[in-house]
Amino acid sequence: MKITGSEAVIKCLLEENVDLIYGYPGGAIMPIYDALYHYQKEVKHVLVRHEQGATHAAQGYARSSGKPGVVFATSGPGATNLITGIADAQIDSTPMVCITGQVASHLLGSDAFQETDIVGISTPITKWNYQITKAEEIPTVLAKAFFIAKSGRPGPVLVDITKDAQFELIDFKYQACTKVRSYKPEPSSSLKELDAAVDLINKAKKPLIVFGQGVILGEAEEEFKNFIEKTGIPAAWTILGLSALPTAHPLNVGMVGMHGNYGPNVLTNECDLLIAMGMRFDDRVTGDLNRYAKQAKIIHFEIDPAEVNKNVPVDVAVLGNIKKTLPQITEKVNKNNHENWLKEFRKRDEIEYQTVIEKDLHPTKDEMTMGEVIHAINEETKGDAIIVTDVGQHQMVACRYAKFNQSKSNITSGGLGTMGFALPAALGAKMGAPEREVVAIIGDGGYQMTIQELGTIFQTGAAVKIVVLNNNFLGMVRQWQQLFFDKRYASTELVNPDFVTIAKGYYIDGEKVDKRSGLKNAVKKMIQSKKPCFLEVCVEKEDNVFPMIPTGESVSNIRLS
């Protein structure tokens, strides 16, 4: 029995066990939506309020569930509105399949109504993309799309389908894709590299691990924990690596990078062995590359060969999925501890606590700090919530102070730094892990970039808890203007609306707290609610996030004030 290309699209998704789609209909994708109408029991569609919201929601879903997020959009502006989210997913290695409608094939290149070359536009920011002009291509191309998005280092793919291909009839047959010629998703390491890594680890007196999201994407949390507990090596995390190891683990020494912890940043330039696990030596982590870990031997565990020696020359590259390579190393390394070396981190922890953390979490001034809000949320969630952050000062503070007991709990925009990410991503995260508490921490600037997704949250009923830390500034830009531009606050002060009234306009319960005395009860009430809730907390206008490594400086030159 022949079916249309549109119905074939839906059947392909069902074959890939897709049960949730984020999207926004329009003319060029209308046939696919019409086909979807007949499969509402099998697959749920979430109508977002803007296509960018669909991509961020799909990212949040993918990050909390481990499954690819799926997005529908129409041609022209519908497709171009996906670009920011696709770019974000690409740099943060998030699996996502975007399906866009396109004008009929005979109109391609004619500047037809709502025609854009989305394949050309998205080529630099997708792992793979393809335009379908014949319905017979749909099963093969979509199978390949899901395989590429999920395998190896994950990422976003885009499939553009012309309108005539959606109407064409085909004999439907689906076969899952298991390999693509010339594409090797998981490279392998030889015994030589593994033994070389073991030798360096056994000889090291001051080793340091910096772990990233590769541990989470490889589902290698247990293997990683076994390795550090056998070797006794201190482990620091990148922002996207946060939650791969419980915050309270005795070998967890904190965050590296621009607003990371004092100890792991300074001691990066004192360790004799730096072990990078599933991280890509981002500039926010390394600071000045000419002064980064020059004294250390470096081992890089990495699934993407293109990342090895890209920014930092390494002595040994262990290629492949950490879940497979790390146990081989763990089996061979000597059992060890590095107590005296670990004490060096704890000494610097104490300095940072006295200089920065104590006044962030337990301030004596009248104005509330962002840190004490995160502390109040920690006390109520006990480290079991998924925390979704936007981009800015609140993001750095949340990453510094949020506590996590389990993996896939920190969801943020890392490499692209996309303001507007958190609200739709929190919706996706809640739908990807409905049994878990999801708290979105957002600045007053980024919140207004995708505030319309309150409508999606209301319509779905997803019990997302939304916290806006309001300082009436684009806070991170203002901090840089204060420190490096002589307090010339050019276009960073915000005159904000009544956020609580807006939330109530979307039938979401809201509360505003501007006094410390009301904070604890407001957080408790919000977390205990079974419905979506909004909480605005007014924080100090000109509070800064420290420690901080100024741009272009060495990690050793981290500032505590």
pLDDT in tens, 413-430: 999 999 999 999 999 999
Shared domain check, 333 and 232: yes
Host H or E run for residue 444? helix 444-447
The reported pLDDT for the residue numbered 490 is: 96
CATH of the domain at 266: 3.40.50.1220
For the chain, percent of residues with pLDDT exceeding 70:
100
Average pLDDT, the chain: 97
pLDDT at 182 over 90: yes
Per DSSP, the three-state class of 68 is coil
Q: Give domain status of residue 238, yes or no.
A: yes
In a domain, 476, yes or no: yes
246 shares a domain with 119 = no
pLDDT at 496: 98
| Structural domain contains residue 362 | no
Contact present, 256 and 268 (Cβ < 8 Å): yes
pLDDT in tens, 43-67: 999 999 999 999 999 999 999 999 9
Q: Strands across the sheet with 207-211, in order?
A: 252-255, 235-237, 207-211, 273-277, 297-302, 316-319
Paired with 277 in beta bridges are: 211, 301
Asked if 439 and 409 sit in the same domain, the reply is yes
1 confidence band (pLDDT: 50, 70, 90): confident
| CA 129 – CA 142 distance, rounded (Å) | 10
- pTM of this structure: 0.97
Residue 275 pLDDT > 90, yes or no?
yes
Q: Where residue 438 falls among pLDDT bands split at 50, 70, 90?
A: very high
The CA-based diameter of the chain, rounded to the nearest angstrom, is 74
Give the pLDDT of residue 299.
98
User: Looking at the domain assignment, is residue 165 inside a domain?
Assistant: yes
> Sorting pLDDT into bands at 50, 70 and 90, what band is 92?
very high
pLDDT at 229: 98
Q: Are residues 316 and 202 part of one domain?
A: yes
Which of 275, 309, 344 delimits the end of a domain? 344
pLDDT tens, residue by residue, 335-365: 999 999 999 999 999 999 999 999 999 999 9
List Cβ neighbours of 293 (8 Å cut-off, separation of 6 or more): 268, 269, 271, 274, 312
Exposure string of 337-353, with b = 16+ CB inside 10 Å and e = fewer, is ebeebbebbeebbeebe
Do residue 83 and residue 216 come from a single domain?
Answer: no
The percentage of the chain sitting over the pLDDT mark of 90, rounded to a whole number, equals 100
Catalytic residues: 51, 113-114, 163, 476
Q: What is the CATH number of the domain that holds 154?
A: 3.40.50.970
Query: Is residue 375 included in any domain, yes or no?
Result: yes
Residues 227-255: pLDDT tens digits? 999 999 999 999 999 999 999 999 999 99
Give how many domains the chain has, as a whole number: 3
Classify residue 554: in a domain, yes or no. Answer: no
Shared-domain flag, residues 315 and 427 = no
| 323/217 Cα distance (integer angstroms) | 10
Intra-chain end-to-end CA distance of the chain, in Å: 71
Helices (H), 306-369: 322-332, 339-352, 358-361
Structure tokens at 156: 């976003």
Q: What is the model's pLDDT at position 35?
A: 98
The answer on 200 and 167 residing in a single domain is no
Of 140, 171, 202, the residue that ends a domain is 171
Q: Specify if 340 maps to a domain.
A: yes
Do residue 489 and residue 517 come from a single domain?
Answer: yes
Same domain, 373 and 516: yes
Question: Does one domain contain both 8 and 156?
Answer: yes
Which residue segment(s) compose the domain that 510 sits in?
Answer: 368-538
Residues 33 and 63 in one domain: yes
Give me the mean pLDDT over the 128-132 stretch.
98
Statement to judge: residues 520 and 376 lie in one domain = yes
Domain membership of residue 353 (yes or no) is no
Last residue of a domain, one of 312, 344, 376: 344
Phi, psi dihedrals of residue 258, rounded to the nearest 5° = -55, -45
Residue 242's Cβ-side half-sphere holds a number of Cα atoms within 13 Å equal to 29
Predicted confidence band at 526 (pLDDT cuts at 50, 70, 90)?
very high
